[in-house]
Structure 1
Amino acid sequence: MRTSEQPATLVGREAELDIVQRWAGLLSSRPAGLLIAGEAGIGKTSLWAVAVAAARQSGALVLTARPVEAELPMGYAGLGDLLARVVEPILAELPEPMARALSGALSLDAIIESGDPLLVGRATLAALRALAAHSPVVLAIDDVQWLDPASARGLAFVIRRLDDERIGLAASLRDGHADPLESVAALGDRLLRISPSGLSLGAIGRLLRSTDPDIPRRRIVRISERSGGNPFFALQLSSSVDDERLPSSLREMVGRQLAAAPAPAAPAIELAAVLGPLPLAAFEDSAALDAAVMAGVLAEQEQEIRFVHPLLAKGAYDRIPPGRRRALHHRAATLAEGIEARARHQALAAVGPSAETAALLDDAARAAGLRGAPEAAAELISYARRLTPVPDAEARAKRTMDFADYRFLAADEPGARALVDEILASDIHGTTRVRALVKRALFQIEPGPAVARLEEAVAEPHDDRELATRTLAQLAWQRGAWLGDVEPASGEALLALEMAEDLGDDATLVTALTTAGLVMSIAGRPGAADHFGRALAIMDRVPPAAGDHTPRLAFAHERWWRGEFVLAEKLMADERRRAEEHGDEGMLMRLNIFAGELALRRGQWDEAERLLDLALTDARDWWRINTLVRRAILRARRGDRASIADANEISGSPVAAHDPVVAAAGDFALGLIDRAEGRLGEAADRMARLPQLSDRAGSKGPEFAVLIPETVAVLVEADRISDAHGLTAQLERRRAQLEPWGAYAVELCEGLLAMAAGEPADAVERFALAIDGFERILAPWELGQSLYAHGSALRRIGRRLDAAASLERALRCFGDLRAEPAMRRAEEELRRARPRPRHDDTLTAAEARVAKLVSGGRTNREVAAQLFTTVATVEAHLTRIYSKLGIRSRTELARIVTDGSLPLRDQLDDPQDTQKTT
């Protein structure tokens, strides 16, 4: 069998070769991808080899990997092929956690520490950037569909984040398989694609004559028709001696070729089929290897012995009888270097349950997990589960739970959930059941069922004190921060803290202190800051915590709820430095969301939108929807109708279906748009729901309390005074929890209610307190709202100069935020308040009297009677009044007199003036 790597296979590929050269020319300036996709044997590898040569000729450092199907279970096998020969000098340039993770993933360290898959991806990106600083780098992967999942995840992470680095990609992909790197989506127009089709009859003729110049045209035509223009298939068909018995498919041809291999070649073919590509020294039977090479089944490529074509490898493995296959795996286990490969081959060699082999597989799975290869760990632990002796139900259940954990880490939540449910449906008890209940709680969208699972876990008898402490802390967190049942949650949090103190484990103590701090804060109890402070003091001595349970994040939330933005920002910056150092991509995504929310509170709205947009590139499910909530509100405050699309996605999500607070958040954004467009009633209906629903929704209460002042303003405008009082009382209950922001917000709301009650003087005092407070804590959105309300109140009591000054400041606040709807409201109010020439000076004394009486509701006849004049004279006065004031009706006249825009001197009691009217 001839190899498809012969240069002759490139006949008829002029257009494809032009694309390869164009791609190579881009490598020196920017990221450039090349994806060669087509059917087996069509010539992908030949074109890929040309691309590799072209990249090297252009001066690029080319890192190659040629994975095979047998390597799919081997975590980071592909990444090792790419980096192993170049990475060691680079490790010294990486932050220590990244260097440790990458070294562990590639098995370069004897001691392997925890390898977070995302940290491995980030370390890979840093290493490639360091290499690209010296010359362009190309990741060249043949048969990318066989790349192991751990390597694919790390490299996909890299490709998604390429900006202007000189890092390129050249990959071949077999039709019918997904691209594990998702290069089309990641690179967009920076990716060139080649889809080789079958060669023409003329090209097939040139190909066949390159190996057999005397081949008859009739035979060329027949081979071209049978091969469909596939060059590899055509070359193999040309070796057939019987035209009448040409195989009808490439797969049939592979089967015939393997069957035709001489018997002495079998040991070498079988060894390569079981172990994959091997160095020459691994073949002890040199005669068998020579026979396999002569038969065209195996070939030496890049100092390795491998099958001439991947289809031959699959066909050869499938042809090995089961007993012989197990014997080969047993031999392979003795040759394997690492624990993972040795355990995998022992599992495939096993004929039945084996406690010894299962224990080895446990250790191998743990090693794979520590390297950040959860898919490989999941496969190994699944073998261990299968080989567990039947009587040992507890061991099988524990391995089932480990299997679920690894599947969850490998982003297979449905698979993990099914395994957890299998445990919960059994009669297994103790620590394994507790682990399953805790994991099942994490899968719940609704807080009630999650808390119920955790309550069951806390009640389950077992003797693992650390697990018991962490489970109780998790229950307190979920009950208090999610369900909003803060009283029992407070007791649970404090009890978990006592248990952690007795346990003496720093990592568990940090978790308990963080939980107690947040739950105490939500409950409005003192001491939250002390708990957070203790956690921060010891957290650097323990491994990074997961999710929002990090003390810095929880403390940052508690501080910015209070309006202490500077400290919150420092805590977030410290957490970001830690996450970047450890390559914690999940945490960095969350930090972008939270930093966006903090920027929104601080009035840095452009930065907030940038951070939220950045988070949305990675956020999924619950995190995506909660990011959209923040962006929708930001956009709606600016009058941007793009917020409607965000709100609709929120409302239509499964998260909103299970969480009415999230659904109400989408409605709140729509309410802001309603208000901006003059639909006050609809705005009040939509906006009031969110703060009302979130009041007893755990951490959402203080989170959404920030929306109460603008909601109260809308309710007052819509004459929904009772609802406005209710929300103000809700905010008053949270005042201590939200100090100092809460105190200033209460003053703002009380001022709005005083305005509604016709007490503008009282309102002015309250608004002044709010302005002073919001200025002090640097909260420009609330400051703008307070200045706007203050200006309106000052205008009501006739202090027009002061009103205009306050409204001008409000307008500047809103302008800095680009909050267009609020700017329009402030401009309109400023037009009313800004002092201008007195209209009664423009009017004559008689006209002023008529204006005052008409604005008071008298008819023309009543005005004429009171002023001792005729109705016609009153009508003439009104005509001139309307003309001078630029109005057209008695209603408009009444409005501008009532709101102070047209102050009139009281002259009606002067008998001299009465005579003048006549």
Structure 2
Amino acid sequence: MTGVEPASSGGPLEPLVGRNCALDLFDRALCAARAGQPSMLEFAADPGCGKTRLLRELAVRAGQAAVPVLAAAGRDGDRMRRLLTSLVGPAAHRAEPVTGASVLLLDDLHLAPPAVAALLARLAQAPPAGLLLVVAYRPRQMPGWATAALGGVVQLNRRTFTLSPLDPAGVAALLGLPDGRAGQRVHRLSGGVPRYVLAYRPEALDGAVAALRGLPAELPFEVTAAVQLDVDALEVDQRQMLEAVSVCAEGFEPTLAGALAHRDPAATSDLLDGLVAADLLRTDPALAPTLRFRHEVDRAVVYRSLSPGRRRRLHAVAADILRDLGHPVTRYAEHLSAGGQGTDPAAADALIEAAESPRTPRPDAIRWLTGVRRLLPDAGSTDPRRVRLDFATADALVGAGRLRQARTLLQDLSRRALPGEDQRVRALVARARVERLLGRPFDAYALLLPHLDAPAGARARFDLTVEAAVAGALCGAAGAGQHACELGRLADKLDEPGCGTTAAVVRCFVAAHVDCGFPAEEALSRASSEVDALADDELARHPDLLALLAWAEHLLERDRSALHHLDRALEICCRAGLVALTPWLLIGRCAVTCRLGSLDRALSEGEDAEEVAVAMGVEPLVGLARAHRAIAVAWRRGPAAARQLAETAVLDAATRRPNWYDGVSQRVAVRLRFLAGDRVGAAPALLRACGGVELGQVEAAGRACWASSLAEMTHRAGRRDEALHWLAVAGRHAQRLRLRGQSAMVRISRARLTLDADPRGAAELAGAAADSFADIGWRLDEASARLVRARALCDVREWAAAEVELAEARRIADLVGSPPLRRAVAGVQSRAAGAAGRRPDSAARGELTLTRREWDIARLVAAGASNAEAAEQVYVTVKTVEAHLTRIFRKTGVSSRAALAALLATGAVNYRGPA
């Protein structure tokens, strides 16, 4: 900031996000300055938090208020000294006093030369009238003299404000993204610091998958320039040391830094101390004496400024030192790869070992293995190192979401004459898993089925049976239950850590999908506890485990536990760069959060899931993401608005073999079409989507729900006997699994079918269903059940009880933000108000009368007046209005203003005269 009008010389302004409190503080101080009161504002923040950007905004605001602005920055010490001299020097005392307000902006005060100390102290002690002094600095680098000068404030009203990093919503706003997972990911990577947020912007704007990749290949110019200013301010030796250690992305110890920069221990210590004082390096409290760059963005700017040859030399030195010191291979693998040492067979083996580690991000593993493949001399297709390299590459490609490339490589592996049956089974299982992740569980199961009795080792047979059970469950194979039962016996024989837990999770997942007679309820609790006890590294080695457990919990109605495991799985996937499972996990979050009533989160998760699935080219998962998002859209905007989205989810489903993903999408599309009013052929279409009369394409945990839907559709079509049949089917499935939510869905369907014939019985059924939904946290279903109960209670003239149910349904609608649900509540209220016999018995006898005052207040409140407005109209206090309303509600039997308005509209209430 070197001009009189800083904003005019700074180019276009970035959006200012999350700084409203600072702006309000400045506006108040500016008003005081215009009244002649001098004051000082201090803005302290770490590098990149937007101090300069804020001061430019303040300059604009002052200019709009016609207040003169003077500005200087600590980097330009001469200008700051001249500016301060003009205000407090001898010439300033001889000049005529300046009248009116003025603003002085001093940026980067921590860089100002000590020569301005006396001038700054004099200004703080005797400021001109109406001066607003605004200073910004980095507290870690603030010199003692500057702190002392500001501490001598006598005449200034001094306020200090710390600029904190942005929260996830602020990060999303700065990037121009919806407040979803991409914004949260960038927040974690950047720490919410605006400069670092902008560094990730090119990738973040490319979508959810790009946001998982980290920094873009090209950093924005303004970010690079800001970091380069700090680097250019260093001494030559310090800059050389910083460049040398920039090859250490994971941090470094002083010994390694000295070797890289060719400095002795004493010189190394002094140089590192200087870089820490400059706040370019920071100590790692968890790994003392490890040092790291202030942020990965700063390291990337310095590292990318190095010449390619110097980078290779530094990496080679770092690899040799770390290997000689006995560090694990994952610590120096990047140095081996970047140092061009992959031609050495030992180095190649080390890189393959590092790539196989669950701690290694999949993109890094692919890069290392690609380098090994390129640099190693040609080897035979059955060479052990080549086979190991291909398996590691396929695993890394799958993890990174490059499923079709992985499938091609695994097909090639399967055709080779691999040594040993275990190797052949391993290639087969990996290939089947890829087919399942591509949304083709039928193809995966068909690959595995002929080899289930292969003469392989115990571990290979276990892995084969795990994949067969999961794929079989997803394509509705009858043998999936048998495979799940076999898993328990194989795990007992193996007696390896983790096998028992894997078997328990897979058996619960299969039990949620097919009837296998397995008691999932107790096993699910045990499996959840065992998985929670596993470390993140172990779960990253077996990434399907958390996903299968979470989906089993969701299907078996343990949604909050499912949400916990989905969150943990996504964290692990983000950290390890595992993209392949991301859409399935995000769809799970969409389904769970929607069922729990968090519609905004459900919509955001569904959009992210669809984006990742589209990027991966997995059409069944694209459809599943759209279907679950359509459910949330239906609650937010109505079935008609959601119908089109749901129908796009099933456009290509007919071209694929039947599978669980497409089955869900088709059922949701038919259900939304029915709810939107298009009921012709709905029941036959839903029956086809369910796999026929046996509901073979529906997961076991959801059959009661979809059988209930068939009952409602056939009842609406006038086929009462068929409806009763499907109700009986739904009841049998609910009884078999004893899930509270499914049982409640059967009750509410039965209530809808019997509403006209037996409203009192329907009210009892709907009440029991509402209580069950409330207990398990399904808010939207609870509200729907309460609406059915309210309608039934109105039919039996129990107005007060109906009003209670309507009020609770309206509360839920407001809580979750569902306008269609609010309209449904209003519709039931209107129907009740207009029904014959709306008046309670007392009204029928002419006893429902109000006093004149009560009548006036009732009409005002029904017209929308607040208590205060009604009190003003009838010349009484608010307390009196509240007392009258209490009596009015008691007399009429209603409990809300909306119900009172509906009651007055019927003419059921009168007043008894002038009393």
Q: Verify the 8 A CA contact 2:623 2:650 in the aligned structure 1.
A: no
Q: Verify the 8 A CA contact 2:441 2:659 in the aligned structure 1.
A: no
Q: Verify the 8 A CA contact 2:319 2:333 in the aligned structure 1.
A: no
Q: Give 2:591's match in structure 1, choosing from 593, 597, 600.
A: 597
Aligned to 1:633: 631
Q: Give TM-score scaled by structure 1 length.
A: 0.52
Distance 1:654 1:663, change over 3 A: closer
Aligned partner of residue 597 in structure 1, secondary structure: helix
Distance in 1 between residues matched to 2:522 and 2:786, nearest whole Å: 36
Q: Verify the 8 A CA contact 1:60 1:136 in the aligned structure 2.
A: no
Distance 1:712 1:453, change over 3 A: same
Instruction: Letter of the 1:403 partner, please give it.
Output: T
Residue 531 of structure 2 is aligned to residue 539 of structure 1: yes
Q: Verify the 8 A CA contact 1:747 1:770 in the aligned structure 2.
A: yes
Distance in 2 between residues matched to 1:721 and 1:387, nearest whole Å: 75
Distance 1:312 1:527, change over 3 A: closer
Distance in 2 between residues matched to 1:425 and 1:477, nearest whole Å: 24
Aligned to 2:89: none
Distance in 1 between residues matched to 2:827 and 2:685, nearest whole Å: 20
Give RMSD over aligned pairs. 6.0
Residue 475 of structure 2 is aligned to residue 473 of structure 1: no
Distance in 2 between residues matched to 1:25 and 1:674, nearest whole Å: 42
Distance in 2 between residues matched to 1:308 and 1:748, nearest whole Å: 64
Q: Note the C-alpha offset of 1:441.
A: 1.9
Spell out, residue by residue over 1:308-349, the C-alpha distance to the aligned partner (whole angstroms, 9 max, x if none): 9999957x89xxxxxxx9x99999976886642564378657
Moved more, 22-31 or 683-692: 22-31
Equivalence map 1:732-747=2 (5 Å): 732-739=731-738, 740-747=740-747
Q: Percent identity?
A: 17
Equivalence map 1:115-130=2 (5 Å): none
Aligned to 1:493: 484
Residue 368 of structure 2 is aligned to residue 380 of structure 1: yes
Aligned to 1:398: 388
Aligned to 1:201: none
Aligned to 1:451: 445
Distance in 1 between residues matched to 2:509 and 2:688, nearest whole Å: 25
Distance 1:281 1:423, change over 3 A: closer
Spell out, residue by residue over 1:168-211, the C-alpha distance to the aligned partner (whole angstroms, 9 max, x if none): 139899xxxx9556589999xxx999899xxxxxxxxxxxxxxx
Residue 185 of structure 2 is aligned to residue 165 of structure 1: no
Q: Note the C-alpha offset of 1:453.
A: 2.4
Distance 1:723 1:821, change over 3 A: farther
Aligned to 2:508: 517
Distance in 2 between residues matched to 1:809 and 1:708, nearest whole Å: 30
Spell out, residue by residue over 1:231-258, the C-alpha distance to the aligned partner (whole angstroms, 9 max, x if none): xxxxxxxxxxxxxxxxxxxxxxxxxxxx
Q: Note the C-alpha offset of 1:834.
A: 4.2
Aligned to 2:432: 441
Q: Verify the 8 A CA contact 1:408 1:416 in the aligned structure 2.
A: yes
Distance in 2 between residues matched to 1:349 and 1:590, nearest whole Å: 36
Aligned to 1:527: 519
Q: Give 1:461's match in structure 2, choosing from 455, 461, 485.
A: 455
Equivalence map 1:41-52=2 (5 Å): none
Aligned partner of residue 431 in structure 1, secondary structure: helix
Spell out, residue by residue over 1:214-243, the C-alpha distance to the aligned partner (whole angstroms, 9 max, x if none): xxxxxxxxxxxxxxxxxxxxxxxxxxxxxx
Distance in 2 between residues matched to 1:689 and 1:493, nearest whole Å: 27
Instruction: Letter of the 2:624 partner, please give it.
Output: N
Q: Note the C-alpha offset of 1:525.
A: 2.2
Instruction: Letter of the 1:768 partner, please give it.
Output: E
Q: Verify the 8 A CA contact 2:748 2:769 in the aligned structure 1.
A: no
Equivalence map 1:547-566=2 (5 Å): 547=544, 549=546, 553=550, 556-560=553-557
Q: Note the C-alpha offset of 1:616.
A: 2.8
Distance 1:712 1:812, change over 3 A: farther
Q: Note the C-alpha offset of 1:469.
A: 1.6
Q: Note the C-alpha offset of 1:497.
A: 1.0
Distance 1:630 1:342, change over 3 A: closer
Aligned to 1:252: none
Q: Verify the 8 A CA contact 2:673 2:679 in the aligned structure 1.
A: yes
Q: Note the C-alpha offset of 1:402.
A: 0.8
Instruction: Letter of the 1:19 partner, please give it.
Output: G
Distance 1:640 1:384, change over 3 A: same
Q: Note the C-alpha offset of 1:449.
A: 0.7
Q: Verify the 8 A CA contact 1:691 1:708 in the aligned structure 2.
A: no
Q: Note the C-alpha offset of 1:655.
A: 10
Q: Note the C-alpha offset of 1:717.
A: 1.9
Of structures 1 and 2, the one with the larger relative CO (CA 8 A, separation 6+) is 1
Aligned to 2:498: 507
Distance 1:793 1:535, change over 3 A: closer
Q: Give 1:819's match in structure 2, choosing from 818, 821, 825.
A: 821
Q: Give 1:419's match in structure 2, choosing from 403, 409, 413.
A: 409
Q: Verify the 8 A CA contact 2:691 2:697 in the aligned structure 1.
A: no
Q: Verify the 8 A CA contact 2:509 2:549 in the aligned structure 1.
A: no
Spell out, residue by residue over 1:890-916, the C-alpha distance to the aligned partner (whole angstroms, 9 max, x if none): xxxxxxxxxxxxxxxxxxxxxxxxxxx
Residue 773 of structure 2 is aligned to residue 771 of structure 1: no
Instruction: Letter of the 2:521 partner, please give it.
Output: A
Spell out, residue by residue over 1:733-779, the C-alpha distance to the aligned partner (whole angstroms, 9 max, x if none): 31223424444444554565667xxx925x85466345324424526
Distance in 2 between residues matched to 1:163 and 1:310, nearest whole Å: 19
Distance 1:647 1:434, change over 3 A: same
Spell out, residue by residue over 1:765-796, the C-alpha distance to the aligned partner (whole angstroms, 9 max, x if none): 4663453244245266556666666777789x
Q: Verify the 8 A CA contact 1:358 1:384 in the aligned structure 2.
A: yes
Q: Give the number of equivalent residue pairs.
A: 598
Q: Note the C-alpha offset of 1:423.
A: 0.8
Distance 1:668 1:500, change over 3 A: closer
Aligned partner of residue 734 in structure 2, secondary structure: coil
Q: Verify the 8 A CA contact 2:797 2:838 in the aligned structure 1.
A: no
Distance 1:768 1:184, change over 3 A: closer
Aligned partner of residue 719 in structure 1, secondary structure: coil
Q: Note the C-alpha offset of 1:400.
A: 0.5
Q: Verify the 8 A CA contact 2:659 2:697 in the aligned structure 1.
A: no
Q: Note the C-alpha offset of 1:59.
A: 7.4
Q: Note the C-alpha offset of 1:584.
A: 5.9
Distance 1:58 1:455, change over 3 A: farther
Equivalence map 1:576-725=2 (5 Å): 593-594=587-588, 596-598=590-592, 600-601=594-595, 604-605=596-597, 607-617=598-608, 620-621=612-613, 625-637=623-635, 639=638, 641-652=640-651, 674-675=673-674, 678-681=677-680, 684=683, 689-691=688-690, 696=695, 700-703=699-702, 705-721=704-720, 723-725=722-724
For the pair shown, the structure with the greater C-alpha radius of gyration is 1
Spell out, residue by residue over 1:401-441, the C-alpha distance to the aligned partner (whole angstroms, 9 max, x if none): 11111122233323222211211232325333323222222
Q: Unaligned stretches of 5+ in structure 2?
A: 1-5, 20-42, 54-72, 77-104, 112-139, 141-160, 167-180, 223-243, 250-255, 263-279, 282-297, 324-330, 614-619, 814-819, 845-915
Instruction: Letter of the 2:757 partner, please give it.
Output: P
Distance in 2 between residues matched to 1:34 and 1:600, nearest whole Å: 42
Spell out, residue by residue over 1:467-526, the C-alpha distance to the aligned partner (whole angstroms, 9 max, x if none): 42233123112212x12234x222221211121123222311111011223323441625
Distance in 1 between residues matched to 2:301 and 2:830, nearest whole Å: 79
Q: Verify the 8 A CA contact 1:469 1:499 in the aligned structure 2.
A: yes
Equivalence map 1:37-436=2 (5 Å): 58=108, 158-159=185-186, 165-169=192-196, 179-180=202-203, 182=205, 339-340=332-333, 343-344=336-337, 350=343, 355-366=345-356, 369-385=357-373, 386-387=376-377, 389-390=379-380, 392-428=382-418, 430-436=421-427
Distance in 2 between residues matched to 1:476 and 1:52, nearest whole Å: 67
Instruction: Letter of the 1:401 partner, please give it.
Output: F
Instruction: Letter of the 1:557 partner, please give it.
Output: H
Distance in 2 between residues matched to 1:665 and 1:483, nearest whole Å: 12
Distance 1:664 1:328, change over 3 A: closer
Aligned partner of residue 734 in structure 1, secondary structure: helix
